[in-house]
Amino acid sequence: MRPLFVLIGMLLALTAPAGLAASSAAAAPVATEAVEVTFDRNRVRTALGGRFTLETKIVNPGGAQTDPILAHLNVASLTSEVYVDPEDWSADRSKEVARLRPGQSTSLSWDIQAVNAGSFDVYVVLLPNGPSTAGEGPLVVSPPVHLEVAGRRTLSPGGVMPVVIVVPVLLGLVAAAARFRLRGTG
């Protein structure tokens, strides 16, 4: 019997790490691809320069905790001649999301200013940001928010002329009056 118990013990010793690994694998966080992200709306209409805020909701519907996530906002131009630099639209485009427990959700706010006129899609990408998953795929993408930005002429020569002319003329008159008064007290 004794050799049998030794054999069983050796087998157990050999398979225990695998078992542990298996159990830890069974308890491993849910891959980011299982997380869901949505916007509070799917369309925005505004004029050039308009500011608005989009809310995203990130939910962990799975049965295990997620890794830390990095949420990143992007703006894509749907108008070919309009170039978009997302940095100009929103200063804070990357937000970190802590681990989400099963069923937990979190909301993120994105302040955006429309700096170009045209048609655009705004979307959020979730990237794994854990110690072992950072830089690994796959990514999760939100549905896009379609943005229509109406152009408007924000500056025209005619609009500035009153100030451009009146201010120096007024100040010139004041300066001349001061000079005239100074001569008068001679």
Partner 1 sequence: MSTSVSAPSVEGTQRATRIDAQGWRVVAGQECRDLWVSGRGPFLIFGFSVLLSGVTYLAATNLDINFLEQREAVNLTLQMAVAVGVLVTLVVSADGLSGERERGTLESLLLTPVSRRAIVTGKLVAALSVWFVAFVVTVPYLWVLGRGVSIVVQAVLLGLLVGTLVALGLAALGLLISAVSTSNKVSLAVSLFLLLALFAPTQLPSGLPQGWFFDVLARLNPVTAALHYISAVLVSGHAWTRDLSYLVSPILTVVLAGGALIVLAPRIVRLHAGVSGE
Partner 2 sequence: MITIEAQQLTKRFGARTAVEELSFTARQGDVVGLLGPNGAGKTTTIRLLTTVLTPTSGEFSVAGIPSTRPNEIRRRVGVLPESAGYPGHQTGRDYLRYHARLFGLARSDAERVAERLLTQVGLDERASSRISTYSRGMRQRLGIARALVNDPTVVFLDEPTLGLDPAGQRQVLALVRETAQRRDATVVLSTHTLPEVEEVCSTVLILEKGRALVSGTVSEVTRAVAVQTSGQLRVPIELVDRARQALASVPGVVLEVADGRPDVLTISLTERPGGRGETGMNAALRAVLSADVPVLSFEVEGARLSDAFLTMTGEGAG
Q: Which is nearer to partner 2, 17 or 186 (CB)?
A: 186
Residue 38, classed as helix, strand or coil, is strand
Could you identify the residue written with the tokens 């990130």?
58
Q: Which positions from 26 to 55 touch partner 1 by CB under 8 A, shown as an x/- string?
A: ----------------------xx-x----
Of positions 14, 155, 163, 182, contacts partner 2 by CB under 8 A: 182
- Minimum Å gap between C-beta 86 and partner 2 is 58
- Minimum Å gap between C-beta 180 and partner 2 is 14
Question: Could you tell me the two tokens for 75?
Answer: 């703006």
154 binds partner 2 (CB under 8 A): no
Kindly give, in sequence order, each residue whose CB lies less than 8 Å from that of residue 144, ignoring residues fewer than 6 positions away: 42, 76, 121, 122, 123
Q: Which is nearer to partner 2, 11 or 178 (CB)?
A: 178
Which of the ranges 53-61, 62-70, 75-83, 178-186 carries the binding residues for partner 2, by CB under 8 A?
178-186
Which of 136, 134, 140, 87 has the alpha carbon at shortest distance from 115?
87
CA neighbours closer than 13 Å in the CB half-sphere of residue 121: 10
- Minimum Å gap between C-beta 56 and partner 1 is 19
Long-range pairs for 153-159: beta carbons < 8 A, 24 or more residues apart: 154/48, 154/49
d(C-alpha 48, C-alpha 63), whole Å = 44
Which entry of partner 2, partner 1, none binds 155, CB below 5 to 8 A by partner kind?
Answer: partner 1
Q: Which is nearer to partner 2, 107 or 185 (CB)?
A: 185
User: Count of residues for the chain?
Assistant: 186
List contacts with partner 2 (CB under 8 A).
182, 185-186
